[in-house]
Amino acid sequence: NSAAADALLLSRVAKKVILVHRRDALRATKIYHEPLAQAENVEFRWNSTVSALLSGDRLTGVRLRDTVTGEESVVDCDGVFVSVGRQPATALAAGQLSLDKGGYIVAGETTETSVPGVYAVGDVRTKPLRQVVTAVADGAVAVHMAEEYIAGGL
């Protein structure tokens, strides 16, 4: 789902989006299929993987390798966004903290989990956006909440 969702988001701001996929069809939830197919600026490169980034002073393109034939081709581009799926590393928390159906630790904006004094931050926490900036913000909130917890304020 992550690559399909990211491609759809990029299609709203980029002149052209090329979705490179190693298979011949998306495995994403069907809800993404129709909007991607209807987006006039989204192009698919099925059965392909990126084998090289091409650059001089800046990125100029990518070399694609066909996973079926092995044939290589070059696609000119100005940017590359890698989205290969997300799986939270929460095995340590399984059975000890509440996890959502995706395996993320359930923690609200205070970052507090189902166990008092335990906080979840970054890409393991249930939230709609996973970026470095949100992980840093989670860390700042967790430190504040942990200080209050240790001081007996909660």
b/e 63-73 (16+ beta carbons within 10 angstroms → b): ebbeeeeeeee
Say what the pTM is: 0.62
Q: What are 61-111's pLDDT values in tens digits? A: 999 999 999 999 999 999 999 887 678 889 999 999 999 998 999 999 999
CB atoms within 10 A of CB 7: 26
CB atoms within 10 A of CB 99: 20
Q: Which CATH number fits domain 86-154: 3.50.50.60, 3.30.1120.10, 3.40.50.300, 3.40.50.410?
A: 3.50.50.60
CATH class of 2-76: alpha beta
Note whether 2-76 and 86-154 share their fold: yes
Q: What are 14-70's pLDDT values in tens digits? A: 999 999 999 998 888 888 889 999 999 999 999 999 999 999 899 999 999 999 999
Question: Domain locations in the chain?
Answer: 2-76, 86-154
